[in-house]
Amino acid sequence: MSSNLVLSSKSSASDDTVAVVTGGKRRPVRSDTGWAGRLLANVFLWGYAVVALGPLLLMVNNSFRTQQQIAMEPLGLALPPSLTSFQEAWLTASFDVYFRNSMIVTTGAVLLTTVVSVMAAYGLARARNRWFRGVEAVFLSGLMLPVHLAILPLFYLLDSLRMTSNLFSLILVYGALGIPFSTFVLTVFFRQLPQELEEAARIDGASTARTFVEVLLPLVRPALATVVVFRFVPVWNDFFYPLILMRDPDSYTLPVGLTRFFGEYQTDWPQLFAGLTIATIPLVVLFLLATKQIISGLTSGMSK
pLDDT tens string 189-232: 888 888 888 888 888 888 888 888 888 888 888 888 888 988 99
Which pLDDT does position 263 carry in this prediction? 63
Which pLDDT does position 27 carry in this prediction? 53
Mean pLDDT of the chain: 80
Angstrom distance (rounded) from CA 267 to CA 252: 20
Which pLDDT does position 302 carry in this prediction? 46
Residues 6+ apart with CB under 8 A from 151: 240, 241, 244
The DSSP secondary structure of 150-193, one letter per residue, reads: GHHHHHHHHHHTT-TT-HHHHHHHHHHHHHHHHHHHHHHHHHHS
* In the chain, % of residues over pLDDT 90: 14
Which pLDDT does position 136 carry in this prediction? 76
Q: How would residue 14 be classed by pLDDT, with cut points 50, 70 and 90? A: very low
Residue 201 one-letter amino acid: A
Residue 280 one-letter amino acid: T
Which pLDDT does position 304 carry in this prediction? 41
Largest CA distance in the chain: 96
pLDDT at residue 287 tops 90: no
Which pLDDT does position 12 carry in this prediction? 42
Question: Mean pLDDT lowest for which of 45-54, 57-66, 71-80?
Answer: 71-80
The structure's pTM equals 0.77
Cβ distance 71 to 267 under 8 Å? Answer: no
Which pLDDT does position 173 carry in this prediction? 92
Q: Which fold does the domain 94-261 belong to in CATH?
A: MetI-like fold (1.10.3720)
Which pLDDT does position 299 carry in this prediction? 57
pLDDT tens string 20-43: 444 555 555 454 557 888 888 888
The average pLDDT across 135-142 equals 76
Which pLDDT does position 107 carry in this prediction? 94
pLDDT at residue 8 tops 60: no
Angstrom distance (rounded) from CA 303 to CA 300: 7
Spell out the domain ranges in the chain: 1-30, 94-261
